[in-house]
Amino acid sequence: MEVLELLVVSLLFGLLALVVALATQGRGRWNKEPCSQQDDQKLNGAPLDKVSRKPKQQRYRKEKPQQHTFLHALLATALKGHSGNVTSMDFSSNGKYLATCADDRTIHIWSTKNFLQGQPHSVRVNVKLDHAILVRFSPDCRALITWLAYADTIRVFKMSKKEDGGSSFQPMAEDFPKKHKAPVINIGIAETGKFIMSVSSDTTIILWTLKGEVLHIINTNQMNNTYAVISPCSRFVASCGFTPDAKVWEVCFSKNGQFREVVRAFELKGHTAGIHSLAFSSDSCRMATVSKDGKWKLWATDVEYKYQQDPYVLLTGICNEAATMPCLLALSPDAQVLALANSNNVRLYNTKRGEEEEYFSKVHGECVAELTFDTTGRFLASCGDRVVRIFHNSTGQRAIVEEIRGLLKRATTDSTRQRLHQQLAQAQATLKSLGALKV
């Protein structure tokens, strides 16, 4: 029995010695010099470039959003200067500049004369500790009126001269006071420079002086507002919303320029559902609306409303997408072309016949944020992601050709016919250069 116990103890000591030896050998292997070139080829049967002896620390980089690409024969240029999504834009009244703002805390001012000369450059204006979601030019182009995202108020940037002879835009000392209780959906400034307008998504429109004093507050009584705008003649403010009628007010000033009152002028009655958006022509004699009833309308507004003459519909068109989703609208200065944007698609209609003439699919990587024509009617601009796209207004050029042909039929003198033939040839040549000669 004692012999058996001695044998078991011996075996245990032997196993313990074997374990210690193996551990010592393994530690020595790890502490050896780096492997030779031959041993570097394989480790446990696999190449070293595939089996790492030390785990590498992984670096995580924030992926940049993929740039949305869009190509079309009528695309004049793409303005690439913002690093964030462009939320608003505005052409100056003289047609020389385009202002754009984005959530990258910048405003860019572009020269329109460079639209057809390669990649246009811009002047940058920084918005400190905030960003503008709406931007509008003052009538003299020497100031920018913006609505700030976080401060929820209007900030005016005025142009100042630099020592090198250039110019820059600097913010005024104080922002406008906070008056709106709901998100602001649009701002504007009268071409006369007498007042500024802001409209919120409840039922409020506020008219301001240029110094930030409240002139008047309009309650639209439309349950909620979807849009409001100042007419180019500066006489009217028009709004639309949940109700099927668009409402127009006249802003009255005395002969010496003092504000007097705001009175109801007229209403646009004809839609059967709420109105998404509206716009004026450059002479304020035409208006356009688009509604949730899936229709758009062109209206004659050059009426004697003080004598109870109502605006009337000139044309009704179909836009089925407007019945199911929000829709943006832009009317060309001469009211010959209507542009509608649903999601990230844009359609152009001829307002003489109501026909869809152009369709731009997936213009932006996001929904179109704003849509506007330049003051000449040559270009249509859209924004919705980091790029502003500028299109040739081929539909407007076709309308010019059609109008000149109509004038030729009524011309009575040879000199008039000769002049119209020259204009027709020029308009047709422009269409041909765009590859859009369809008439």
Residue 280 neighbours by CB distance under 10 Å: 23
Strands 246-253 and 259-268: antiparallel
Q: What is the pLDDT of residues 332-341, one digit of tens each?
A: 999 999 999 9
Instruction: Give strand pairing partners of 277.
Output: 290
Return the CATH number of the domain spanning residue range 79-390: 2.130.10.10
Token duo for residue 336: 């010959």
Contact 74/391 with Cβ under 8 angstroms? yes
Which letter does DSSP use for residue 424 in this model? H
In sequence order, what are the residues at sequence separation of 6 or more whose Cβ sits closer than 8 angstroms to the Cβ of residue 20?
none
pLDDT reported for residue 13: 63
Instruction: Give strand pairing partners of 159.
Output: 169
Helical spans, DSSP H, in 101-158: none
Residue type, 271: H
In sequence order, what are the residues at sequence separation of 6 or more whose Cβ sits closer than 8 angstroms to the Cβ of residue 167?
159, 160, 161
Whose structure tokens read 């980091």?
386
Q: What Rg do the C-alpha atoms of the chain give, in angstroms?
A: 34
Apex CA 200: angle with CA 152 and CA 83, to 5°? 50
In sequence order, what are the residues at sequence separation of 6 or more whose Cβ sits closer than 8 angstroms to the Cβ of residue 104?
82, 83, 84, 131
Q: State the helix-helix crossing angle for 414-434 and 394-410, rounded to 10 degrees.
A: 160
* pTM check: above 0.85: no
Long-range contacts of 60-69, Cβ-Cβ distance < 8 Å, separation of 24 or more? 65/365, 66/365, 67/365, 67/386, 67/387, 68/362, 68/364, 68/365, 68/385, 68/387
Q: In a structure prediction context, what are the per-residue pLDDT tens digits for the chain, which is 439 residues long? A: 455 565 555 666 666 666 555 555 554 444 444 444 444 444 344 444 444 455 555 555 545 556 788 989 999 999 999 999 999 999 999 999 999 999 999 999 999 998 988 778 899 999 999 999 999 999 999 999 999 999 999 999 999 887 776 778 999 999 999 999 999 999 999 999 999 999 999 999 999 999 999 999 999 999 999 999 999 999 999 999 999 999 999 999 999 999 999 999 999 999 999 999 999 999 999 999 999 999 999 999 999 999 999 999 999 999 999 999 999 999 999 999 999 999 999 999 999 999 999 999 999 999 999 999 999 999 999 999 999 999 999 999 999 999 999 999 999 999 999 999 998 999 888 888 887 766 4
As a whole number of angstroms, the distance between CA 339 and CA 381 comes to 10
As a whole number of angstroms, the distance between CA 86 and CA 80 comes to 10
End-to-end CA distance of the chain: 119
As a whole number of angstroms, the distance between CA 74 and CA 51 comes to 55
Residue type, 391: F
Token duo for residue 38: 């031959």
Among the listed residues 347, 382, 357, the one whose alpha carbon sits nearest the alpha carbon of residue 437 = 357
DSSP string over 356-380: EEEEE-S-SSS---EEEE-TTSSEE
pLDDT reported for residue 39: 45
In sequence order, what are the residues at sequence separation of 6 or more whose Cβ sits closer than 8 angstroms to the Cβ of residue 259?
194, 195, 215, 216, 251, 252, 253
Q: Is 171 helix (H, G, I), strand (E, B) or coil?
A: strand
pLDDT reported for residue 181: 96
Among the listed residues 190, 107, 119, 192, the one whose alpha carbon sits nearest the alpha carbon of residue 147 = 107
Where are the chain's structural domains? 79-390, 402-434
